Amino acid sequence: MKRVLNFIDGQFRPPGSGRYIPDVEPATGQVIAEIADSEPEDVDAAVAAASRAFASWRKTPAEERSRLLLRVGGLIEENFDELARLESDDNGKPVSLARRMDIPRAILNFRFFATAILHAETSAHATDDRALNYTLRQPLGVAGLISPWNLPLYLLSWKIAPAIAAGNCCVAKPSELTPLTADRLAGLIAEAGIPPGVVNIVHGTGASAGRALTSHPNVPLISFTGGTKTGADVMTHAGPLFKKVSLELGGKNPNVVFADADLEQAVATSIPSSFSNQGEICLCGSRLFVERPIYDEFLDRFLAGTKKLAIGDPREASTEVGALVSEAHRRKVEGYVALAKEEGGEILLGGKRPADLPERVRGGYFLEPTVIAGLDGGTRCMQEEIFGPVVTVTPFDSPEEAIALANSTRYGLSASVWTRDLQKAHRVAAAIDSGTVWVNTWLLRDLRVPFGGMKESGVGREGGFDSLAFFTEAKNVCVKL
């Protein structure tokens, strides 16, 4: 049985507790590894190692940091097949998706920030002829990085790469449900020649290892991606210590289709935007709003396309829908399907565990892609994040109504708008309260753009130079002339 150890000061180390947590393959329900159940003492050791490494890493020239990060990107690429397989086994996602999205993005994250630091600029302000001000951007020290299970390596590298590119050292806590690619990344980071202590990875539960990080006095910065409720707990502990905090939280994203949209494209994209990664992407459009004149036709095509999605063994290249991440999470999602019926919804498709799964994955946590109609906008199923293969469909009659429906939750992460009317597209995009609005597309990502959520979907922005700004402290130097 594979044992996942902590990676501290360049070495793999067992947890002080000597305890391990089983790591389950969601597609089979079988334990495939056990992972370190770390306690605050392990986090202390990792923070101490990171603090020591910071003394020299902060002085390492940007060109050298860049070279080392590019090596990590190259090593991920060299180990592409293995990493894609590990991600799929650990999370339940189709291996084809890991190959198309997760692993390429992890490579890109390292390459992007490795080169971004070579192009970063700072500002200077002349105060008439009396003084010259210039801004230094300096790393803070030890960054605490906490990531979720849905896009394990993708989001972990989205934090590690900018943190260390900017000259910080870090202690990362991946989700206990999906530790395998983080463990492999630790090995690649050592192989790339990143000095010991610059990157430390501590495994274990959020309640123990995660909270030890958010409340650690020597960790001045926390970058957290996860659920909104956990984000509140992170704030509760990081706030009194005045840490710099970035929170990327949950979403209940609207997907608004106007009658003048390119119907074929809107349907073809709304299927993956609802069900990719079993709906376990924070950016999935979980509330579909369709303008009434095309509602029936859109729905017919949407249901027909969704029915064709291949559910099965995530290891098979042809599989499009894999397993949910855990039994507990599937129960939670099934609970919402049951609730939807109580709330007056009609299950148009799915809602059940699939029959006829291949032998290897019969014990896995699968759920059919589910489409629910007839729910009122104020119901819990229309308001709360379900984070599974479940989408609601609702007709609307005017742009104003669509905007009001889109904005009717406490979330504001992302949205999609489908229309051929340019003016309407800009007007509706400006009126929707979310960090990202896609027009006639979904999940088209440029890593230079600001990324984050409004309302309860997050605090702060990462991406491009916003990430480098977050992972550095601005200092004004004023020189009297």
Using CB under 6 A, which of 34, 44, 77, 233 touches ligand NAP? 233
Taking contact as CB under 6 A, which single stretch among the options 25-33, 202-210, 267-275, 347-355 is the one that binds ligand NAP? 202-210
- Write the CB contacts of 282 (distance below 8 Å, at least 6 apart in sequence): 150, 225, 248, 249, 250, 251, 387, 413, 414
CB of 140 to ligand NAP, least distance (A): 19
CA angle centred on 70, ends 64 and 72, rounded to 5°: 110
Q: Are 151 and 159 in contact (CB under 8 A)?
A: no
Q: Answer yes or no whether residue 176 interacts with ligand NAP by CB under 6 A.
A: yes
Q: Answer yes or no whether residue 251 interacts with ligand NAP by CB under 6 A.
A: yes
CB of 158 to ligand NAP, least distance (A): 9
Please say which residue, 194 or 282, places its beta carbon nearer to ligand NAP. Answer: 282
**Beta strand pairing call for 30-36 and 20-25:** antiparallel
Using CB under 6 A, which of 79, 91, 223, 225 touches ligand NAP? 225
CB of 149 to ligand NAP, least distance (A): 5
- Write the CB contacts of 464 (distance below 8 Å, at least 6 apart in sequence): 116, 447, 448, 449, 450
Taking contact as CB under 6 A, which single stretch among the options 2-10, 125-133, 200-208, 266-274 is the one that binds ligand NAP? 200-208
Q: Which helix (H) or strand (E) holds 467?
A: helix 464-470
Residue 302 and residue 269: Cα distance in Å, rounded?
10
Q: What are phi and psi of 445, to 5 degrees?
A: -110, 130
Number of alpha carbons in the 13 Å side-chain half-sphere of residue 221: 30
Residue 159 and residue 173: Cα distance in Å, rounded?
11
CB of 414 to ligand NAP, least distance (A): 9
Using CB under 6 A, which of 250, 279, 388, 463 touches ligand NAP? 250
Tokens of residue 456, six digits: 């309860």
- Of the candidates 402, 339, 328, the one whose C-alpha atom is nearest the C-alpha of residue 372 is 339
Using CB under 6 A, which of 42, 334, 368, 385 touches ligand NAP? 385
Using CB under 6 A, which of 88, 175, 277, 319 touches ligand NAP? 175
Residue 141 and residue 53: Cα distance in Å, rounded?
9
CB of 234 to ligand NAP, least distance (A): 5
Using CB under 6 A, which of 103, 116, 146, 469 touches ligand NAP? 146
List 25, 87, 248, 456, catalytic entry: 248
- Write the CB contacts of 219 (distance below 8 Å, at least 6 apart in sequence): 47, 141, 142, 143, 144, 171, 213, 243
Q: Answer yes or no whether residue 248 interacts with ligand NAP by CB under 6 A.
A: yes
Which residue type is seen at 166?
Answer: A
CB of 184 to ligand NAP, least distance (A): 17
Using CB under 6 A, which of 86, 311, 381, 413 touches ligand NAP? 413
Taking contact as CB under 6 A, which single stretch among the options 108-116, 193-201, 247-255, 419-427 is the one that binds ligand NAP? 247-255
Q: What is the largest CA-CA distance in the chain?
A: 79
Residue 44 and residue 53: Cα distance in Å, rounded?
14
Taking contact as CB under 6 A, which single stretch among the options 34-42, 86-94, 224-232, 356-364 is the one that binds ligand NAP? 224-232
Taking contact as CB under 6 A, which single stretch among the options 145-153, 161-169, 290-298, 359-367 is the one that binds ligand NAP? 145-153
Residue 263 and residue 88: Cα distance in Å, rounded?
32
Using CB under 6 A, which of 453, 460, 463, 464 touches ligand NAP? 453
CB of 170 to ligand NAP, least distance (A): 14
List 282, 320, 334, 368, catalytic entry: 282
Residue 460 and residue 450: Cα distance in Å, rounded?
9
Using CB under 6 A, which of 15, 141, 220, 226 touches ligand NAP? 226
Residue at shortest CB range from ligand NAP: 206
CB of 232 to ligand NAP, least distance (A): 9
Which residue type is seen at 294?
Answer: I
* Residue 248 falls in the annotated catalytic set: yes
Residue 281 and residue 58: Cα distance in Å, rounded?
34
* Residue 282 falls in the annotated catalytic set: yes
CB of 460 to ligand NAP, least distance (A): 11
Tokens of residue 119, six digits: 């192009």
Using CB under 6 A, which of 11, 205, 218, 407 touches ligand NAP? 205
> How many helices, marked H, and strands, marked E, lie in the chain?
16, 23
How many chain residues touch ligand NAP (CB under 6 A)? 32
Q: Answer yes or no whether residue 144 interacts with ligand NAP by CB under 6 A.
A: no
Residues annotated catalytic, as ranges: 248, 282
For binding to ligand NAP (CB under 6 A), which residues are involved? 146-150, 155, 173, 175-177, 205-207, 210-211, 214, 225-227, 230, 233-234, 248-251, 282, 385, 387, 413, 453, 458
